[in-house]
Amino acid sequence: MKCKRRLTYMLLFLLFLAIEVLIALFVRDNFIRPYVGDVLVTVVICLLLRAVTPFETRLLPLLVFIFSALVEIGQYFDFVALLGLSDNRFFSVLLGRTFSLADIICYGAGCIIFFLCEELIKRKRCR
């Protein structure tokens, strides 16, 4: 049963990752890309961690939120430059270079959505 659930998480991870990539490549607006994309990124991380880790914890969304917020705070202090990677496009894109409080709010929303969806699924499974 756990193996099947982990496979489901992996398939959902791949689906949401594809959506995230499509947004990054093709959407040029002021709402979907900056806000929906940031909400989805934490969902993608949660799905990946559920797929590859054997343990289940209700705290996973909280841990992902803390990690995401720390990355965003790192952007405030220009962590990429502090590491001497300013000229490296890969790390500049991966870690980001601009701080935004709105991003942290979006990360929180994504983690809450993931948590609520999991709780809803658990309740339906227990019936």
Instruction: For residue 105, give both structure tokens.
Output: 């709010």
Alpha helical stretches, state H, 1-127:
2-26, 37-52, 60-76, 79-82, 89-95, 101-126
35's CB contacts (< 8 A; 6+ apart) are 102, 106
Euclidean distance between CA atoms 48 and 6, whole angstroms: 9
The pLDDT tens digits along the chain (127 residues) read: 577 889 999 999 999 999 999 999 999 999 999 999 999 999 999 999 999 997 788 999 999 999 999 999 999 999 999 999 989 988 888 888 899 999 999 999 999 999 999 999 888 887 7
Domain boundaries, the chain: 2-126
